[in-house]
Amino acid sequence: MNLNPEFQRQLLLECSPARLIGIPLVLWVIFTFSYYIDDYHLGGATSKTALILYLLIALLWGVRQSTDSILDEFRDHTWDTQRLTALGPWQMVWGKLLGSTALVWYAGLICLAVFAIASQDYAALPFAAFYCICAALIMQSGGLLLAQLAAQRGASKSGSIFITAIVGFIFIAPKLTDISSLASPYNGFFPAIFTPNWHQLGFNPQLFNLFSVSAALFWCCVGNYRLMAQALSIRGLPWVWLSFLMFLIIYLSGFLPSSTYAFSLAAFAVCIALSYMGVLMERNDAMRLKRLQIYAAHRNWRRFGEELPVWWLSFGLAIPFALTLSLSEHPLGLLGADFHIYPLPILLLLLRDCCLYLYFIYGKNPQRAFNLTLLSAALLYGVIPGLFSAAGQTWLAALAFPLWADSASSALIFGLLQTGFLLRLVYKRWQASI
């Protein structure tokens, strides 16, 4: 049988005889104590112990293993060698994801089996097992995704990714614990706000939750595939990003009232969020824009599309939704006496923030670009307008933060001034860096 070579390599690295024997022995000792606590039968204490162990092993240890499967290659300087292999991106992804977590699933499935035996409500066990397994796969594939993004930036430490995993664990673990009670399997993985009334259509809440979890896992795997393809220098048009964008718009707008404004609001929010995400996750070297310029000059639109930054697509798609919101009347247009929602100025603020980030990226210390952008954003969004507002200079506060302006036209003018100034600075620095 021809196995994936990357999967085989990960198995050889992880699955030593000592680990294969030691893991079940340790678990046997733990479950023996819980068996005694349950008065010599498998009851509630054993079930809770098995579930807690599964969550710790499959979620936290699993994320650590999937993350290190990428970052260890960078720490050991073996990633460039792997890129020269004949393996495709999907073989690399599932080989690392499942191979590096083989021991995790070895221990986790033992815990899940004990949990199933010790539980009392066997009818609901398939749903609990599905959510537990999918949650672990989502966390592990998410860790692999973050590790690939960190590797693109040259980072080799997994501390920040593990902190993110702990936050995800804190969010997911209580919900899985609620499911494990098996009192009502129809509650599913999501909170009560997720009703079966989606796009004014009636859905079985259990099936809808299954679809939502499966979709999350699917997009994590697709994201890993695309990032691995980029790492292996496999070019492709940004259809995956556009598909993910449209999926989020359709999915999230389904929970809002059925109206043009609600759909535009959901789409605008998704485009804004993914624009910020796109500019942070991509490589923004100066030569990329130079290549785009050359491809456009030679009308090589295929290469132009392959090289196009994905945040440009999100930003471009946000423009028609911003125009739709600007021409609509809604209570969300005014959030208070000073702060307003002006869609077009918000779009300009997005462009300004992206230009600010690129300005630092094209500087001498691009590794500090994110921190410098956060510091600048804190000044522009909070400190400077707050000081001017406290001093009674409202127009100066609006000049720094256009959403404080009294009218949409004033906010648009202030946004254009800021964005134009940043665009000019970025263009000069880009020219100096190529």
Longest pairwise C-alpha distance within the chain:
79
- The whole-number pLDDT of residue 185 equals 41
For residues 202 and 165, is the Cβ–Cβ distance under 8 A? Answer: no
- Counting every residue written for the chain, the total comes to 434
Question: Quick one: pLDDT band at residue 169, thresholds 50, 70, 90?
Answer: low
- Give me the mean pLDDT over the 79-104 stretch: 86
Residue 79's alpha-carbon distances to 66, 75, 85, 152, 260, in angstroms, are 15, 9, 10, 11, 48
């400077």: which residue's tokens? 384
Using CA atoms, how far apart are residues 181 and 164, in angstroms rounded to an integer? 27
Q: How confident is the model over 10-56, as pLDDT tens digits?
A: 888 888 889 999 999 999 999 888 888 887 777 778 888 888 899 88
């795997």: which residue's tokens? 221
Q: How confident is the model over 405-431, as pLDDT tens digits?
A: 888 888 899 999 999 999 999 999 999
- The whole-number pLDDT of residue 268 equals 94
For residues 429 and 361, is the Cβ–Cβ distance under 8 A? Answer: no
For residues 350 and 273, is the Cβ–Cβ distance under 8 A? Answer: no
Q: How confident is the model over 314-366, as pLDDT tens digits?
A: 999 999 999 998 887 655 554 445 567 889 999 999 999 999 999 999 988 88
SS3 assignment, position 201: strand
Q: Is it the case that residue 59 has pLDDT exceeding 50? A: yes
Q: How confident is the model over 104-159, as pLDDT tens digits?
A: 999 999 999 998 888 877 777 888 888 889 989 998 999 899 888 888 776 666 66
- The whole-number pLDDT of residue 141 equals 92
Task: Please give the radius of gyration of the chain, using alpha carbons only, rounded to the nearest integer.
Answer: 25
Q: Is it the case that residue 248 has pLDDT exceeding 90? A: yes
Residue type, 359: Y
- The whole-number pLDDT of residue 182 equals 44
List the one residue out of 274, 276, 210, 224 whose CA is nearest residue 246.
274
- The whole-number pLDDT of residue 162 equals 63
- The whole-number pLDDT of residue 258 equals 78
- The whole-number pLDDT of residue 330 equals 59
- Cα angle 198, 199, 202 (rounded to 5 degrees) comes to 50
Q: Is it the case that residue 170 has pLDDT exceeding 50? A: yes
- The whole-number pLDDT of residue 318 equals 95
- The whole-number pLDDT of residue 224 equals 92
Average the pLDDT over each of 53-67, 153-167, 361-375 and give the range with the smallest value.
153-167
- 234: which DSSP letter? -
First vs last C-alpha separation in the chain: 50
Using CA atoms, how far apart are residues 226 and 89, in angstroms rounded to an integer? 8
Q: Is it the case that residue 188 has pLDDT exceeding 60? A: no
CB atoms within 10 A of CB 244: 18
Most confident range, picked from 81-85, 157-161, 234-238, 315-319: 315-319
- Give me the mean pLDDT over the 250-276 stretch: 89
Number of helices and strands (H, E) in the chain? Answer: 20, 2
Mean pLDDT value across the chain? 84
Using CA atoms, how far apart are residues 140 and 118, in angstroms rounded to an integer? 26
Q: What is the 3-state secondary structure (H, E, C) of 330-385?
A: CHHHECCCCCECCHHHHHHHHHHHHHHHHHHHCCCCHHHHHHHHHHHHHHHHHHHH
- The whole-number pLDDT of residue 390 equals 84
SS3 assignment, position 408: helix
* Structure token digits, residue 318: 């946000």
- The whole-number pLDDT of residue 420 equals 94
In the Cβ-directed half-sphere of 413, how many Cα atoms lie within 13 Å? 9
Instruction: Report the run of H or E that residue 199 belongs to, with start and end.
Output: none
For residues 14 and 100, is the Cβ–Cβ distance under 8 A? Answer: yes
CB atoms within 10 A of CB 54: 25
Strand partners, 197: 202
Question: Quick one: pLDDT band at residue 186, thresholds 50, 70, 90?
Answer: very low
- The whole-number pLDDT of residue 285 equals 85
Higher per-residue pLDDT: 169 or 300? 300
CA dihedral 375, 396, 419, 275 (to 10 degrees): 50
| pLDDT > 70 fraction of the chain, expressed in percent and rounded | 88
How far out from the chain centre does Cα 397 lie? 33
- The whole-number pLDDT of residue 204 equals 77
- The whole-number pLDDT of residue 159 equals 65
SS3 assignment, position 286: helix
- The whole-number pLDDT of residue 319 equals 94
- The whole-number pLDDT of residue 15 equals 86
Q: Is it the case that residue 84 has pLDDT exceeding 50? A: yes
